[in-house]
Amino acid sequence: MELSKMNPKENKRNLWKRVYGGKYQKHVTIYTVGSTAESTEEIDEKIVYMEDFEKRKQAYGICGECNEPGTGEDWCQPCNAKRLKDNFKNWTSGNKNIDEFIQQSQLNAVHYKKYFEWIPFENFRDIVYITRGGFGKIYLAEWPEGYIEYWDIKNGKELVI
């Protein structure tokens, strides 16, 4: 079945492509290998812009929910922004400015490592006081849950690292 004719509500499945390259910003670059007279292989790094649907489709694949090209490895910015926005009512830092800052980073995220999450203090384990800094106390802790890597379309839940 052609992707453009799929009904994402009925045919939810993982259509993501694996992105390889080992670079920090793998969510915004694609690599092509070509030959030149001076070298046997030359790697060409290209930026993939949000508006460039064909390059996004080539680099990241198609979102199995909305059938649009992905915006990063296993990431669809519109679908994930909606899910994160739906969760705004379930958390607060207690500071309106901090909440808005975190929310804006979530709404604009094009990759799973490029946004902030509010983590309640009680979600940390093995909390150790380190020292007092210029603006407060400094602690070291473990975060057992880990950050959201991607949304598992088939099972309708987030997968964490």
Higher pLDDT, 155 or 108: 108
Contacts of 61 (CB under 8 A, 6+ apart): 15, 16, 17, 69, 70
The sign one gets for the Cα dihedral 161, 156, 104, 101 is negative
Specify the number of domains making up the chain.
1
- Cα angle at 13 between 56 and 59, to 5 degrees? 15
Strand partners, 132: 137
- Predicted local distance difference test score (pLDDT) of residue 77: 86
Q: Identify the helix (H) or strand (E) that includes residue 151.
A: strand 148-152
- Predicted local distance difference test score (pLDDT) of residue 110: 80
Q: What is the mean pLDDT of residues 138-161?
A: 80
Is 107 within 8 Å of 88 (Cβ atoms)? Answer: no
pLDDT tens, residue by residue, 48-107: 666 677 777 887 888 888 888 888 777 888 888 999 999 999 999 999 999 999 999 999
pLDDT tens, residue by residue, 38-50: 544 454 555 566 6
Q: How many CA atoms lie within 13 A of 45 on its CB side?
A: 10
* Range of the structural domain that residue 125 is part of: 3-160
